[in-house]
Chains A and B, each alone.
Chain A
Amino acid sequence: MSESPIVLEAKGITKQFPGVLANDNVNFDLRKGEIHALLGENGAGKSTLMNLLYGLHKPDKGEITVNGKNAIIHSPNDSIELGIGMVHQHFMLIPVFSVAENVMLGDEAVKNGSLDRNSVAKKITDISKQYGLDVDPNALVGTLPVGIQQRVEIVKTLYRNAEIVILDEPTAVLTPQEAEDLFRIMRDLTARGVSIIFITHKLKEVLAVADRITVMRAGRVINTVKPSETDSAQLANMMVGRQVILTVDKQDHEAADEILKVEGITVRDQRDLETVHNVSFSVRGGEVLGIAGVQGNGQTELSEALTGLRSPTSGKVTIDGKDLTGKPPRIITEAGLAHIPEDRQRHGLVLSYSIADNMALCDYYHAPFSSRGVLQPKALDENARKLISAFDVRTPSAFVNAGKLSGGNQQKVIVARELSRNVKLVIANQPTRGLDVGSIEYIHSEIIKMRDRGVAVLLISAELDEIMALSDRIAVMYRGQIVAIVEAKKTTREQLGLWMAGAHVQTA
């Protein structure tokens, strides 16, 4: 392997963003036909490096060579020209376009002034056959499952004759089985001479598929190793810079009475499609029920229906015996709900409000924060100061706008606000998405604290590891239905993965 020539090399790359040194003198090389994994936490600088290689940003310092020649990459056009293709973490696909239109965009086939959709469709079919990437060129991208959309992205790079393919966190949206399938495709591609840069933060995956692994932390390259010469613990150590406890410290705990009871609810999304069908489950005080599932299987709509952001079309939701079906958020909050929303910037915070205002976002209207309709700034400040120290929010003061905080600290503001209230039920939706390991550990321990205090916790997460580490019981969601509910101790990753992929769906 090491005998094959270097196709891409980055030397001394430095990139400064306002307030962050995203890449600090980074060296990286890729050999022909290899899978070179780039491993690091969120914010380590992996995506920045790739955006530099792909021409979306320009480096402040350093040089890039492709096939031994100095490469000047100012725009994606230059990198496409050099045979570099990239599959972005958030797909760069247009949902209302067909597969063929998406693939040809920017490199269109034109006949007599019109788009030549047929010739593109034929080329896609050829690529599909050659690499085992089955896609229908005429399908509308928005109607395809994410796994297939990812294939469209790969086809897009191959349509442009890419010889170097960058995959940015490609498994984040896949089931373990779909990920296996992706790894097969990756090996097929390398066998045909394509070189792959595989960006991820998942240790198991790099050990399974990479030929070489480069670990990044805080904008710097820590080391480049071979999978055969390392193990998970060592990689984790390199990634985080200290010993990482890979498991959550959790005592056995007796669950109490039923707090949340969901009976046969059905929910429609804003396009009026039924995304949750007849779902029933319950969560008891002092237990964590984890809902596992690939993104987009109805989890968002389910949590919206439970928290009052969306009305279910049928079914019943009760909290502590109180019927709260279709009630507005305030009534549900007052009944004892803490909600850590999926999208913290969209739902959880008002970014141009101070931390103090954000920490009273759900309670501003009653004492002590207001009196007869007039806000009480003293009470707001006091509350903020108390929570900032109790939940270790790193900020110069309570007056700083929430938008100025890092992602981890923003999430801590929400967690502080929600968990400091006197609640019976916590609904946490993707509580650690996009956070650094330190914040993840902290938020996990807070969730377990709530459980140990006898609060019912509903945890929704696409990270199977998180679900397995925190849950007492696990429910698996697939295409809007709960396909299984099991004791966490009595199941395996593989079993959950199969359910997440829709295998053995029992139609009762």
Chain B
Amino acid sequence: MNEQHPQHFLGDTIIECRNVNKWFGEFHVLKDINMKVREREVVVICGPSGSGKSTLIRCINRLEQHQEGQIIVDGIELTNDVSNISAIRREIGMVFQQFNLFPHLTVLENITLAQRYVRQRPRVQAEEIALSLLERVGIPEQARKYPGQLSGGQQQRVAIARALAMNPKIMLFDEPTSALDPEMIKEVLDVMKELARSGMTMLCVTHEMGFAREVADRIIFMDSGRIVEIGTPEHFFVNPRHDRTKLFLSQIL
């Protein structure tokens, strides 16, 4: 049990990677990845660019396909089976670096679209959920606007609300603050912290070490497609063991 975060108790394993390997053409991008994430756990993945961290979390909801090994999410193994993939995607929400909001739909429609077509919720119910989520991320007044009319931070918060509207068990964050102006990073991180405190299972690729130190249960450090070191924040920041990790930390802190 993690002394730093006594507010939530971790559950069973919900994501498991066993000897996952992936190539882009000839390039070996993920090498023998083994890791587990437990329910309600917040895991931050960090590492230099090109280390494969984004690819790893994109494999978990099958935006990328791994070629060897097993990925098991919520007891379902990811295979080419389309029904497996859609079952898993329904359990996983994802937030992208570039937000990827749908520019032709209003904020409200962005959040209700998948609810209506995937979860089959009636429009009124979907809109209620959407509005309460906008309240939660702090921008209820923006519901009728189009994404292009919002600031980057607001757009990313809409993207979080859109993912949450599907009631996912797991949230994946792929560098959610990297495309934001410094003044807007905080508002997104605040939402993420609130989400972490509420007990969401979260897997975040991020360079925000402050966030990692404050919120993460564990930190995974990757380099050149392999996991170099896994540890709690105290272990990672205070007492890293691997030379590559020490080098990385010496450069960013």
> Do A and B bind?
no
